Amino acid sequence: MLHKSKSLIQILAICSLLLAACGGGGATAGGPLQSVGEGEGRVDIIAWAGYIERGETVAEFDWVTDFEAATGCMVNVKVAATSDEMVALMNEGGFDLVTASGDASNRLISGGRVQEINVDLIPSWSTVDPRLQEAPWHTVDGKHYGVPYQWGSNVLMYRTDVFGDEAPTSWNVIFEETTLPDGESNIGRVQAYDGAIYIADAALYLKYHNPELGITDPYSLTRDQFNAALDLLRQQRELIGRYWHDAFIQMDDFTNEGVAASGSWPFQVNILKSSDVPVASVVPVEGATGWADSTMMHIEAPHPNCAYMWLEHSLNLNLQGDLAAWFGTVPAVLAACEGNELLGPEGCSINGLDAFDQISFWRTPTSTCSDGTENCVPYHEWVTNYIAVIGGR
């Protein structure tokens, strides 16, 4: 059985959260760049696994080589496994850009770690999906602090040789002890995400199964709702073989370590399928959390010209379509859904194009509830309590 792990990333993230909380109303020093000059020769990007590919994993997926050849800006990527790690790295500095999800972006803005983006310097800005252009996870007081990149849904990944011809219909296979269709218990054969934002997945499950709790927003939880989610996660802990945050380790676990089901990303599903591992994925009846990611620029970006060149390149139709095919996401530029050989004519629909309004996108919880009251549990308590759950408390 795989061991239960306690994430150092999350422990370090507490310091990041405290730093972010001390910030002002966002980056203002000097204002946004007013013109793009000669490139500095490199750009350093913090990104999710699989978000910036140069053909090293699969030759067909390469949206870096042509950018480097055209601009002379060499792309250097630091892969981060959680939003908390991204916030910690941006607080350390030395990076130009980060592909931030909604549970990191507002922290980075309020903490003064990212700068306003001058969208006039990004010719392709007008091609961005209008639903994303003014999205609250990168737009504050009418100012843009990020360029939309991709969006998608977390999924329930499962082994088809365990579940047979019938896909699981509920997240209960990873939250509650049960006998799986292969006749064996799920104890030790399921995983959960090693990030405090995962509490929202538990809250979404309870919203469906325990309506008496009154949960309407999985990121806006009163104390009683929050405690109920923690109780479900403590129950789940007895089933968990590993809390995952490394996509490639999770893929190895599904391949070699007997893992039967877990919350996952379409990225892992696609790679495992391409390697003939018997897996599939589904969004269960309770719905799913998800992410809408924006590329954000550090307040002290050492290579701002190359950074702006990458921001424009990030909206390139080939990149947008290829990335959607690779990661199982929906492009920020919807025109990329058409005519992309790797994505195919139905790729965007398969990846959830029409599910935008059904996804509970990651967002940083605050003490201010979605209804304007001030009795919700803030994110720093999500972090400390989830660490305690993983540690058996």
**Residue 165 structure tokens:** 């011809």
Residues 385, 388: Cα–Cα separation, whole Å: 5
User: How far apart, in Å, are the Cα atoms of 38 and each of 61, 71, 98?
Assistant: 28, 9, 21
* 77 SS3 class: strand
∠ Cα 278 61 81 (to 5°): 70
Residues 264, 250: Cα–Cα separation, whole Å: 9
With contact defined as beta carbons under 8 Å apart, do 223 and 375 qualify? yes
- Reported pTM: 0.84
Same domain for 245 and 373, yes or no, is: yes
Same domain for 47 and 186, yes or no, is: no
| Rg over CA atoms, the chain | 20
Same domain for 14 and 93, yes or no, is: yes
Same domain for 247 and 383, yes or no, is: yes
Residues 280, 302: Cα–Cα separation, whole Å: 42
Residue 25: predicted pLDDT: 36
Same domain for 240 and 380, yes or no, is: yes
For residue 77, give every residue at least 6 positions away whose Cβ sits within 8 Å of its Cβ, in sequence order, or none.
Answer: 45, 46, 47, 52
- What is the DSSP-derived secondary structure letter of residue 377? P
Residues 58, 341: Cα–Cα separation, whole Å: 15
Same domain for 264 and 380, yes or no, is: yes
Residue 193: predicted pLDDT: 95
- What is the DSSP-derived secondary structure letter of residue 226? H
Residues 65, 63: Cα–Cα separation, whole Å: 6
Mean pLDDT of the chain, nearest integer: 91
**DSSP string over 254-286:** HHHS---EEEE-HHHHHHHHHTT--EEEE--TT
The pLDDT tens digits along the chain (393 residues) read 333 333 434 443 444 444 333 333 333 455 899 999 999 999 999 999 999 999 998 999 999 999 999 999 999 999 999 999 999 999 999 999 999 999 999 999 999 999 999 999 999 999 999 999 999 999 999 999 999 999 999 999 999 999 998 999 999 999 999 999 999 999 999 999 999 999 999 999 999 999 999 999 999 999 999 999 999 999 999 999 999 999 999 999 999 999 999 999 998 998 999 899 999 999 999 999 999 999 999 999 999 999 999 999 999 999 999 999 999 999 999 999 999 999 999 999 989 898 898 899 999 999 999 889 999 999 999 999 999 999 988
Residue 8: predicted pLDDT: 36
Is residue 1 included in any domain, yes or no? Answer: no
Residues 277, 299: Cα–Cα separation, whole Å: 43
Is residue 2 included in any domain, yes or no? Answer: no
Same domain for 283 and 145, yes or no, is: no
Same domain for 108 and 29, yes or no, is: yes
Residues 200, 382: Cα–Cα separation, whole Å: 10
Residue given tokens 């946004």 in the structure block: 32
Same domain for 237 and 376, yes or no, is: yes
**Residue 205 structure tokens:** 């499950």
* Exposure string for 256-267, b = 16+ CB within 10 A, e = fewer: ebebbbbbbbbb
Residue given tokens 């849904």 in the structure block: 153
The residue count for the chain: 393
Same domain for 83 and 119, yes or no, is: yes
Residues 195, 82: Cα–Cα separation, whole Å: 6
Q: pLDDT tens digits for 265-324?
A: 998 998 999 899 999 999 999 999 999 999 999 999 999 999 999 999 999 999 999 999
Residue given tokens 């959390």 in the structure block: 289
Residue 92: predicted pLDDT: 96
Residues 336, 318: Cα–Cα separation, whole Å: 7
With contact defined as beta carbons under 8 Å apart, do 236 and 390 qualify? no
Helix (H) or strand (E) holding 63: none
Residue 375 belongs to a domain with what CATH number? 3.40.190.10
With contact defined as beta carbons under 8 Å apart, do 152 and 265 qualify? yes
With contact defined as beta carbons under 8 Å apart, do 35 and 309 qualify? no
Residue 75: predicted pLDDT: 98
Is residue 3 included in any domain, yes or no? Answer: no
Same domain for 120 and 201, yes or no, is: no
Same domain for 326 and 336, yes or no, is: yes
Number of folded domains in the chain?
2
Domain containing residue 53: 8-152+290-361
Residues 75, 169: Cα–Cα separation, whole Å: 41
**DSSP string over 107-156:** HHHHTT-B----GGG-GGGGGS-HHHHT-TTTEETTEE--EEEEEEE-EE
